[in-house]
Amino acid sequence: MKSERQQVILDLLQQHQTVTVKMISDSLHVSDMTIRRDLAEMAEEGLVVRVHGGAQLPRSARGSSLLRVRSHEEKKHRSVEQKRAAARAAAKIVKPGDAIFLGGGTTLELMCDYLPKADIRVVTNSMPVLNLLADNPHIDLFLVGGTLRQDTRVFTTPYGARAFHGLSTNKAFVSATGVFGNEVFGSHPDVGALLGNAVSHSAEAYLVLDDDKVGVRDFCSFTTLDRIAAAFINPGASAEAIKSLETYTTVIAE
């Protein structure tokens, strides 16, 4: 499938920074013409930059730049097993009686499948999380944010506004579009402000992500890794990604 081919291309780019058409073709056992079509489409989406004979990741002076925000539907079909592994590991630390924040993003949505079958409170700004947990008899569910972003399916508040109004949690789980150095990034200031608010209103904050986000800088920094109790990352994550995260926080890959 095209989506799977393009994910393999991105994985190769994360490992090598620059790849050739031949390298991709040898890995996927498909024609050069197919690879060139994939690269052309990915370049239009801002995922890669075409170079002679291949492609490379878009770069800035401070890491990879995300040139286009992927829609929620696109994200659902990328790195699914990696996301599921990270989500499953993160859900293990949720205990009966906990009050947790679950942010938006397809990785955190997968956590809903693994939450304990015991009474907990869940605060969220995610429409998919709201829908997934609405009929769960063990969960008291609270929605924060006022305006729904159609592209990412999360609710936001105006930049600088208070979203939590006195609510607090003992564990907050957030995802990110990028992590570069100590900084954790999102794509939109409104979303970033709400996530930063969630981190500051929780006794402990956790980052749940797959390793293709590490080394990537995006538009809005909403917290720092040294404020994160632990980062849950997919098994098989690159040693470079794990080492980068471990400079600032505990990394759990299982």
118-167, pLDDT tens digit by residue?
Answer: 999 999 999 999 999 999 999 999 999 888 888 788 988 776 566 777 88
Q: Which residue has the higher pLDDT, 234 or 68?
A: 234
Q: Are strands 54-56 and 18-20 parallel, antiparallel or unpaired?
A: antiparallel
- The contacts of residue 57 (CB under 8 Å, 6+ apart) are 13, 14, 17, 18, 48, 49, 64
The percent of residues above 90 in pLDDT, for the chain, comes to 45
Angle between the N-to-C axes of helices 2-16 and 21-28, in degrees from 0 to 180, rounded to the nearest 10:
120
61 confidence band (pLDDT: 50, 70, 90): very low
Token pair of 150 as six digits: 């159609």
Position 67 scores a pLDDT of: 46
How many whole angstroms separate alpha carbon 127 and alpha carbon 176?
A: 17
Q: Is the pLDDT score of 44 beyond 90?
A: no
205 to 5, 97, 114, 174, 225: CA distances (angstroms): 34, 17, 18, 8, 10
Beta bridge partners of 148: 155
Mean per-residue pLDDT, 226-249: 92
d(CA 231, CA 204): 12
The yes-or-no verdict on residue 72 having pLDDT over 70 is no
pTM of the model: 0.73
CA distances from 207 to 51, 173, 223 (A): 34, 6, 10
CA atoms of 246 and 98, how far apart (whole Å): 26
Give residue 189's pLDDT.
Answer: 84
CA distances (Å), origin 253, targets 20, 59, 111: 30, 27, 15
Q: What is the pLDDT of residues 79-114, one digit of tens each?
A: 677 888 899 999 999 999 999 999 998 899 999 999
Which pLDDT belongs to residue 103? 94
The average confidence (pLDDT) of the chain is 86
Q: Are strands 120-124 and 99-102 parallel, antiparallel or unpaired?
A: parallel
Angular region, 205: left φ>0, alpha ψ -120 to 50, beta rest: beta
Give the Å distances, CA to CA, from 249 to 52, 82, 130, 161, 190.
39, 20, 29, 29, 25
pLDDT at 113: 95
**Any idea which of 21-35, 72-86, 196-210 has the lowest mean pLDDT?**
72-86
